Amino acid sequence: MVKGSIFWRLLITVLLLILIGGFSLQQKTEYGGSAAAEELQPAVSVVSAYFSSGALPTAGKIALTFDDGPSAVYTPKLLEGLKERGVKATFFITGKNAERFPELVKQMHEEGHLIGNHTYSHLQLTKSNRDKFQEELVRTGEIISGITGEEVVYVRPPYGSWDKSFEKELNLLPVLWTIDPLDWCTQNASEVVKKVISRAKENAVILLHDEYASSVAAALQIVDELQKKGYEFVTVEEILFD
Q: Are strands 60-67 and 90-93 parallel, antiparallel or unpaired?
A: parallel
For Zn ion, the closer of residues 36 and 144 by Cβ is 144
For Zn ion, the closer of residues 116 and 158 by Cβ is 158
Map residues 102-141 to x or -, x wherever contact with Zn ion holds by CB under 5 A. ----------------------------------------
Find how far residue 89's CA is from the centre of its chain. 5
Segment lying near Zn ion (by CB under 5 A), choices 36-44, 64-72, 135-143, 210-218? 64-72
113, 118, 183, 209: the catalytic one is 209
According to DSSP H, which parts of the chain are helical? Answer: 2-31, 33-51, 75-84, 95-100, 102-110, 130-148, 165-170, 189-199, 213-228, 236-240
Least CB distance to Zn ion at residue 207 (A): 9
Least CB distance to Zn ion at residue 112 (A): 23
For Zn ion, the closer of residues 119 and 235 by Cβ is 119
Query: Is 163 designated active site?
Result: no
Angle at Cα 83 formed by Cα 77 and Cα 84, nearest 5°?
90
Contact yes or no for 218/183 (Cβ under 8 A): yes
Q: How far apart are CA 113 and CA 17, in angstroms?
A: 43
Least CB distance to Zn ion at residue 156 (A): 7
Q: Which of 183, 185, 176 is nearest to 157 (CA)?
A: 176
Contact yes or no for 139/99 (Cβ under 8 A): no
For Zn ion, the closer of residues 60 and 158 by Cβ is 158
- Residue 68 is a binding residue for Zn ion (CB under 5 A): yes
For Zn ion, the closer of residues 91 and 231 by Cβ is 91
Query: Is 68 designated active site?
Result: no
* Residue of the chain from 27, 62, 64, 67 that contacts Zn ion (CB under 5 A): 67
Contact yes or no for 166/194 (Cβ under 8 A): no
Least CB distance to Zn ion at residue 187 (A): 18
Q: What is the length of the chain? A: 242
Site residues (CB under 5 A) for Zn ion, limited to 146-165:
158
67, 68, 183, 210: the catalytic one is 67
**Which residues here bind Zn ion, judged by CB under 5 A?**
67-68, 158
Catalytic (active-site) positions: 67, 209
